[in-house]
């Protein structure tokens, strides 16, 4: 993933969810960044997902880099 793409995704997340912590992920020299997502406290992906039915309020945990 290019730096410009990562920055744009992070800015979009910041606009939608506020200033979140980066709470997990894996970065290595032989494994480039492929995805950036927002997860809830149970580790389920909240963003980027299409509209899905959600029962109750799901608490945002942070940003996950993969």
pTM of the model: 0.83
Sort residue 10 into left (φ over 0), alpha (ψ -120 to 50) or beta: alpha
Average pLDDT rounded to a whole number, residues 4-30: 93
Continuous H helices in the chain: 3-17
CB count in 10 Å sphere of residue 37: 19
- What's the pLDDT band for 24 if we cut at 50, 70, 90? very high
What single DSSP character describes residue 29? T
User: Which pLDDT score is estimated for 31?
Assistant: 84
Mean per-residue pLDDT over the chain, rounded = 88
What single DSSP character describes residue 58? P
What is the token pair recorded at 39?
Answer: 């997860």
pLDDT > 70: percent of the chain: 89
- Beta bridge partners of residue 62, listed in sequence order: 39
User: Which pLDDT score is estimated for 54?
Assistant: 56
């Amino acid at each position: 993933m290019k730096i410009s793409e990562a920055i744009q995704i992070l800015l979009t997340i910041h606009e939608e969810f506020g200033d979140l912590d980066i709470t997990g992920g894996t970065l290595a020299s032989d494994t480039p960044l492929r995805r950036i997502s927002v997860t809830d406290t149970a580790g389920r992906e909240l963003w980027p997902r299409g509209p899905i039915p959600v029962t109750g309020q799901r608490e945002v945990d942070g940003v996950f880099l993969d």
